[in-house]
Homo-oligomer: A and B are copies of this chain.
Amino acid sequence: MNFSKISAIEYYLPSKVSTKEDLLLDNPDWRMDDIEEKTGVKRRFICDKDETAKDISILACNQLIGKKVNRDEIEFLIIVTESPEHILPPLSCTVQDCLGLSTSIAAFDVNLGCSGFVYGLMLADSIICSQGYKKGILVCVDTYSKYIADDDRTCRPLFSDAASAILISSSNKKTIGPFVLGTDGSGSDDLVVKNSGTKSYDTSVAKSLFMNGSQVFMFTMRIVPKMVNDLLKKSNHDINDIDLFIFHQASKLVLDNIERLLKIPGKKVFKNYSSVGNTVSSSIPIALAQAEDQGMIKKDSLIMLAGFGVGLSWGATLISLSKK
């Protein structure tokens, strides 16, 4: 039996930073202190007008290639994105060419948001375990800023653009899994970009992100504790066995309430939303990389990853990092 492991994580945040003052310039009536108190987000990273998911994916991948992996060792490229340059062709194909990867690689895009890293990890693990692949890159990338209206008080204070590139390799030891994954499409309309696909709306409907904040919050409170407990049960672990929880960095409000509902000690819950914002599917890998840089991950640490969002969709898993 083959297993897989996370061998390296790199990420890229755009150089343009959007501050409280920037948001107030566009929206003088926003109570930014109240918003910041609730979201916890103090700055956001935003792509330039012509900077796309392709561009920042390449920048993230190039931090891995030639440093943590040789170009010709890469056998697959999975890109998780909801903001590709085009609805077709797939972003992963364009990126394969820009990175000069072999034409023998398997490449495909997965359309998921804040649960996307966990799903992408499940797919990378599955194809390594069952199809004989040895090394590949999972990219999580989104540029939600391109969908967000300047005066959207729900979304604009929260989301950052980002790309992360995760090297996943075969392993003789199980370091990833099991997975708990779920889906509730009854909340499809709670996070949506209308007029973005083939469904026709009357032309007055803007092509911009809509988030029903209170519905998504209630979904999170209902689903995340259950998902955590389901994963503990599936893996025969007690909540105290987990050394570090890396939740999707939705917002301060969401993370504080998850911590409270699950009675997890705050020091076991990694948080970087204040400095990074909500980076959608990159949020867990960026948090994982920063937690490691900050010395919060030991050789045998058992880490729970949990993502949740658009779809509505959720996923959690357990990992250990054995790259050292």
State the Cβ distance, A54 to closest chain B Cβ, in Å: 8
The answer for the CA separation of A127 and B238 in the assembled complex, in Å, is: 26
Is there a chain B Cβ closer than 8 Å to A82's Cβ?
Answer: yes
Is there a chain B Cβ closer than 8 Å to A311's Cβ?
Answer: yes
Chain B hits for A123, CB < 8 A: 123, 126-127
A188 B83 Cβ-Cβ under 8 A:
no
B96 A200 Cβ-Cβ under 8 A:
no
Chain A positions 192-222 with a Cβ under 8 Å from a chain B Cβ: 192-194, 196-200, 209
Chain B hits for A86, CB < 8 A: 192-194, 196-197, 199
The answer for the CA separation of A82 and B200 in the assembled complex, in Å, is: 16
Name A93's contact: one of B107, B209, B312 (CB within 8 Å). Answer: B312
| Stretch from A19-27, A45-53, A242-250, A298-306 at the B interface | A45-53
Contact flags A151-170 to B (C-beta < 8 A → 1, else 0): 00000000000000000000
State the Cβ distance, A194 to closest chain B Cβ, in Å: 7
Is there a chain B Cβ closer than 8 Å to A85's Cβ?
Answer: yes
Name A183's contact: one of B87, B107, B131, B193 (CB within 8 Å). Answer: B107
A108 B107 Cβ-Cβ under 8 A:
no
Given contacts A95-B185, A127-B122, contact A199 B110 (CB under 8 A): no
Name the prevailing secondary structure of the A interface residues. Answer: mixed
Is there a chain B Cβ closer than 8 Å to A40's Cβ?
Answer: no
Chain B hits for A311, CB < 8 A: 89-90, 93, 107
Contact flags A285-324 to B (C-beta < 8 A → 1, else 0): 0000000000000000000000000111101000000000
Is there a chain B Cβ closer than 8 Å to A15's Cβ?
Answer: no
A111 B90 Cβ-Cβ under 8 A:
yes
The answer for the CA separation of A229 and B95 in the assembled complex, in Å, is: 27
Contact flags A162-194 to B (C-beta < 8 A → 1, else 0): 000000000000000111011111101001111
B188 A94 Cβ-Cβ under 8 A:
yes
The answer for the CA separation of A54 and B192 in the assembled complex, in Å, is: 15
Is there a chain B Cβ closer than 8 Å to A10's Cβ?
Answer: no
State the Cβ distance, A77 to closest chain B Cβ, in Å: 8
B104 A90 Cβ-Cβ under 8 A:
no
The answer for the CA separation of A84 and B36 in the assembled complex, in Å, is: 35
Chain B hits for A107, CB < 8 A: 183, 185, 311, 313
15 contacts between A and B (CB under 8 A): A52-B198, A77-B183, A89-B310, A89-B311, A93-B183, A93-B310, A94-B188, A96-B185, A103-B182, A106-B183, A106-B315, A107-B185, A108-B110, A110-B110, A122-B127
Which 10 residue pairs spanning A and B have beta carbons closest together? A97-B185, A93-B311, A85-B199, A126-B126, A87-B196, A129-B130, A106-B181, A107-B183, A109-B111, A93-B185
